[in-house]
Amino acid sequence: AAPLQLGSPTAVVKPFYEHVGLELDPAQRSHFADPAKSVLDKSDTLRKSGQGECLDPNMALDNAAYDGAEILNSLKTIEVIKGDEAKVVVAFVVAGNPHRLEWKFRKVDGDWKITDLLSVTGEWALSQYQCE
């Protein structure tokens, strides 16, 4: 495998597989742009209001049961960049079940920002959540 390029879309995605639930951490919001950022911000507001959770705590894992070693051992990524847009397709296996997600990116002020997260397996998209 080629070495990971600092700041590349794949480098932005990798920590979300090393630290479960990282996508819900407000300290990570700088890695996101709309529409994903708005959904995450609304989720934060809802959580702070005490009215519950809007988003699953392990979206990056396609809501699968977490087995860090199994995921990291089977994790494969494919990065495609077209101009100021990119996507990283992530595939892994948990308990014999394959999962595939697509992270969408847009270049904002020279940095790659996550604009959406889609589950090809589970047929959901972060941008479709209404956290209100």
pTM of the predicted structure, to 2 decimals: 0.90
In a domain, 2, yes or no: no
In a domain, 1, yes or no: no
pLDDT tens digit sequence for 45-62:
999 999 888 888 889 988
pLDDT, residue 66, reads 74
In a domain, 89, yes or no: yes
In a domain, 74, yes or no: yes
Q: Tell me the average pLDDT across 77-81.
A: 96
In a domain, 3, yes or no: no
Q: How many domains are contained in the chain? A: 1
pLDDT, residue 2, reads 55
Residue 119 has a CB neighbour count (10 Å cut-off) of 19
Long-range Cβ contact pairs of 103-108 (< 8 A, separation 24 or more): 103/9, 103/12, 103/13, 105/9, 105/12, 106/33, 108/33
In a domain, 30, yes or no: yes
Nearest CA-CA partner of 14 in 76, 100, 81: 76
Confidence grade of residue 72 (pLDDT, cut at 50, 70, 90): confident
Which structural domain range is residue 121 located in? 9-128
Nearest CA-CA partner of 131 in 63, 44, 50: 44
Domain CATH number, residue 87? 3.10.450.50
